[in-house]
């Protein structure tokens, strides 16, 4: 299962990128910092190009985030995305991904959405926005009800609360943007990104 691969990484940098030329040095910073996974959000016009650039590497698993519909999912996969992350639970999007053997992690904020994901055939969902929904306490409660579900909490995750989330048995990985801040990417402060990722990776081992 692809969720097992995510569990190896434990942390997924969630990236908003404005200049496609930053994709290569950003990938360098992420990998050299100690992570082998990244989610490029489709929030900018260069996101697909950035995915294509990073996907050429063999040392990083590249996924697409903020995927809202099937058309975006197709475009992301065509450019090398190996997994799809959506902010909400779209049955049609999930069905397309499953039909095409593309790992997909829809955002689920309620028990109803989690049940929809289960009915669609999923066992791993994105818990989003994690902190705003009640954080570790809420996720622990959901996990006690949906004991076969694995979670990827995203939204408000920081180095301060990361270990609390990862301590939950059903959490496979956390998504976070604090170590790949957009201003650092825009200003090409890739050494800072490397150092922050390296610092967090050391915390996890």
Q: Any idea which residues carry the catalytic annotation?
A: 39, 126
The secondary structure element, H or E, covering residue 26 is: helix 23-33
The rounded distance, in Å, linking the Cα atoms of 66 and 154 is 12
CA-to-CA dists, residue 202 to 5, 25, 39, 205, angstroms: 19, 22, 21, 5
Q: Where are the beta strands (DSSP E) in 23-94?
A: 37-41, 61-65, 83-86
Report the distance separating Cα 200 and Cα 11, nearest Å.
Answer: 9
Q: Do the Cβ atoms of 30 and 176 come closer than 8 Å?
A: no
Q: Which residues contact 167 (CB under 8 A, 6 or more apart)?
A: none
């Amino acid at each position: 299962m692809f969720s097992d691969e995510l569990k190896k990484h434990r942390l997924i940098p969630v990236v908003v990128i404005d200049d496609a030329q930053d994709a290569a040095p950003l990938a360098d910073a992420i990998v050299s910092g100690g992570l082998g996974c990244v989610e490029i959000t489709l929030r900018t016009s260069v996101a697909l190009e950035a995915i294509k650039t990073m996907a050429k590497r063999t040392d990083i698993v590249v996924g697409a985030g903020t995927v809202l519909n099937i058309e975006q999912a197709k475009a992301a996969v065509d450019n090398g995305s190996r997994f799809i992350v959506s902010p909400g639970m779209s049955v049609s999007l999930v069905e397309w991904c499953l039909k095409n053997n593309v790992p997909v992690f829809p955002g689920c904020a309620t028990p109803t959405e989690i049940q929809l994901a289960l009915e669609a055939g999923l066992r791993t969902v994105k818990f989003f926005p994690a902190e705003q929904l009640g954080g570790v306490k809420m996720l622990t409660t959901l996990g006690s009800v949906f004991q076969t579900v694995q979670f990827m909490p995203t939204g408000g995750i920081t180095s301060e609360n990361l270990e609390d989330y990862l301590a939950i048995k059903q959490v496979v990985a956390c998504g976070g943007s604090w170590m790949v801040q957009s201003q650092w990417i825009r200003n090409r402060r890739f050494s800072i990104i490397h150092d922050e990722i390296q610092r967090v990776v050391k915390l996890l081992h």
